[in-house]
Amino acid sequence: MKAVIIGAGIAGLTQGLLLRELGYKVVLCERTAQPNHRGHAFLMNEEGLKVLQPFLSKAVEPLKAQHVDLFALKRPASEDLIKIQLDDWFCLKRVDLVSYLISLFGQENIVFNCEFDRFEGTKDRIVSAWFKNGTCIEGDFFIGADGSRSAVRQALMGPTTFTPVEVKEIVGISDYTRTSEYKIFEKIQCHDKGLAFGFIPANDHQSVWFMQYDTQMEPEKDLKDPEQLKAFCFELLKDFPHEVQAVLKANDFNTSYVWNTQDFDLLPSFHKNNAVLIGDAAHLALPFTSAGTTNALCDAAVLTEYLSRGIDLAMAFQKYYQKRAPQIQQHVEQGRNLKKIFLEPEKYSERGFMLPLISDKYAAKESTEPKPLVLAYYTDPICSTCWIFQPLLRKLELEYGEFVEIKYHMGGLLPNWEDYSKGAISEPSDAARLWNEMAEKHHLPLDGDIWIEDPLESSYPSSIAFKAAQLQDSDKAVSFLRRMKEMLFVEKKNINHWMHMERAALTSGLDAALLKKDIAGQGLEDFKKDLNQAQELGIHVFPTLLFQVDGFTRFSLRGHQPYERLEEYLHKYLPSIKKRKVTLSLEELFERYNQLATTEIEFLLDQEFSEIEQGLAVLEVQGKIQQYTLKNAVYWQKN
């Protein structure tokens, strides 16, 4: 079959490459006289890069894509309001991606200087596409990939009603880069008006930047003039941080431009007869979502998927729409909500702030039905017995998670060394000795040298941080607690230092800026409540587990316990429950738990090391995990 693609931008080129892989004859038509490199840089989700992966592996040169580590939102004269880790977002220069795709498709295979004019054919079938230079190209089906002002869309669907332009965006690429451990997408937004500045590292020596502003701020001067555009940017951003001025000073305003941001309602269909739309021609969300390029690539992939099934065109086009439309609708709505927040920022706080760039894995979880048994777990971030107890909790969740909910409470093990004396522990050196003894006994990573090299003065700061994390997300808070424990027990890091706390928060999917604020506020208050509850219940040993059924505590276990005893009491209070056999592969285990000691793997999978040794070696050779040989254990970390 012959496909005629109208528009040789990112969407059209990708679609052409995918269809050619299927064996289709592809004609790619572009209205410009040469490759269109307009635009500076954009963000792309990993989902989009996966569409290109089959071609990336065949190319001689790698695609230049800058991974972006963090998203930070702040006010012009304040600390971060929001700071989160971005696991799967990349910044690409448009010229780099377009040139890359053209090199794969072959510039000689693109028909340039073909601006679409009209379709011709019968009532039910398009036979040919005509272009304004008089060229006529026949095909079996036609794909409109000619952007947001699509002439193909108008020919198929009639005129498009766009939303009013309420926000404009000035875009540029600057020779400024920040020297930082992280590659950060930073956005600075006024607290009382629609004005924001953002910049993102495009590579090691350039940053793409944008200034978004309420159209009511636009002057009467001609912003097509580079000098007037420059003066306008500096005037609006005069109260922004010095780094913003540095970005602007390193920018060539001859290449910057003003972008009118608009969108339109989701179309009732993306096709008519044997012609179909992809990318911005099919749908358009406001740029606040940073989803445009990723959506275009996903369109091409999904359309190709259904065309490869051998079903008729109408059915393939219909299924393509059914799969893509719900996500597109979500992005349209998200863009509009983000615009409301942008135009009236004083009405919104950072808590519950709708973030751009958030993939489905960060979406809010649906509420679940209460489980029949609750384990109230009283613990402490620096408790070595709780660290030894961690594998038991993980196994419990794997085997009985559908019946048991574990609720974490902080017990306040170490207020300070002046007020602490338990057993043989009265100073940091005693803790160092105990930890090293426990490591020998249990064969788990537990390095007591932290108490000699950088001793913690109290366990309260990390406990308060955990309670602050719970305010954001209970599951992420548990991951945060585990990561802090790994830093302390394995990596010998003093987790009372904010730099370590922040890193643990970011890698757990938490907003580190909001965490810092909550540590000084509600997190502290919630920690005090936990301390009062522990005192009222007479809990002084950690870990302590309270078995609660129907809201009443039926039994408690204190200190380290064999796993069989936990099971014994589970079956006592829930006699009908059945153990779920753990069938996770090694790779699946590391997907669930990023870091594991060898003894922990053996325990969770009920296998001897001889049974898992080869599997670990294979994953290590494949670069999926790496091994750390520690003073008292072997530890494995997912790459």
CA–CA separation, 100 and 56 (whole Å) = 9
Name the segment(s) of the chain with CATH classification 3.50.50.60: 2-62+93-162+263-342
Q: Which two tokens stand for residue 196?
A: 């924001």
Q: Binning pLDDT at 50, 70 and 90, where does residue 62 land?
A: confident
| Domain limits, CATH 3.40.30.10, in the chain | 373-579
What's residue 303's pLDDT? 98
Q: In the structure encoding, which two tokens stand for residue 606, read together?
A: 């009920």
- Taking the C-alpha atoms of residue 609 and residue 633, their distance in angstroms, rounded to an integer, is 13
Question: Is residue 353 scored above 80 in pLDDT?
Answer: no
Model pLDDT, residue 358: 55
Q: Where are the alpha helices (DSSP H) in 123-207?
A: 151-157
Cross-strand partners of 40: none
CATH code matching the domain that covers 373-579, chosen among 3.40.50.300, 3.40.30.10, 3.90.1150.10, 1.10.240.10: 3.40.30.10
Q: Which of 500, 483, 494 is nearest to 637 (CA)?
A: 483
**What does residue 322 show for φ and ψ, rounded to 5 degrees?**
-60, -35
Q: Mind listing the pLDDT tens digit for each residue in 271-317?
A: 999 999 999 999 999 999 889 999 999 999 999 999 999 899 999 99
Q: Which CATH superfamily is domain 2-62+93-162+263-342 in?
A: FAD/NAD(P)-binding domain (3.50.50.60)
- CATH of 581-639, picked from 3.20.20.150, 1.10.10.10, 3.40.605.10, 3.40.109.10, is 1.10.10.10
Whether 27 contacts 3, CB under 8 Å:
yes
**What does the DSSP assignment read for 233-258?**
HHHHTTTS-HHHHHHHHTB-TTS-EE
Residue 68, pLDDT > 80, answer yes
Domain span(s) for CATH 1.10.10.10 in the chain: 581-639
Average pLDDT of the residues of the chain: 93
546-566: average pLDDT: 92
Section 486-505 average pLDDT: 96
Is the pLDDT score of 365 beyond 60? no
356, pLDDT greater than 90: no
Question: pLDDT class for 350, splitting at 50, 70, 90?
Answer: low
pLDDT of residue 364: 42
pLDDT grade for 352, boundaries at 50, 70 and 90? low
Residues 4 and 129: their CA atoms lie apart, in Å, by 8
- Residue 359's pLDDT band, with cuts at 50, 70 and 90, is very low
Residue 88, pLDDT score: 87
Q: Residue 565: what pLDDT?
A: 95
Q: What is the pLDDT of residue 348?
A: 77
Which residues neighbour 477 within 8 Å (Cβ) at sequence distance 6 or greater?
A: 408, 466, 469, 470, 508, 510
pLDDT digits 0-9 by tens, 72-89: 999 998 878 899 999 889
pLDDT exceeds 60 at position 361: no
Q: Which residues contact 91 (CB under 8 A, 6 or more apart)?
A: 41, 42, 43, 44, 65, 66, 68, 183, 185, 200, 201, 202, 208
Q: Does pLDDT of 23 surpass 80?
A: yes
Task: Label residue 575 exposed, middle or buried (CB < 10 Å: 0-12, 13-18, 19+).
Answer: exposed
**Average pLDDT, integer, range 515-531:** 97
Average pLDDT over residues 51-75: 88
- Residue spans of alpha helices (H) in 490-585: 498-507, 512-519, 522-536, 563-573
> What would the mean pLDDT of 383-393 be, rounded to a whole number?
96
The per-residue pLDDT for 360 is: 42
What pLDDT score does 351 carry? 65
Distance CA 320, CA 301 (A): 10
Distance CA 569, CA 560 (A): 15
The residue-averaged pLDDT of 188-214 equals: 95
Q: Is the pLDDT of residue 208 over 90?
A: yes
Tell whether the model's pLDDT for residue 60 goes beyond 80: no
Prior bond to 575 cis, omega within 30?
no
**Helices 384-400 and 563-573, packing angle to 10 deg:** 50
> What stretch of H or E contains 556?
strand 552-558
Single-letter code of the amino acid located at 215: T
Strands (DSSP E) along 220-330, which ranges?
257-261, 271-272, 275-277
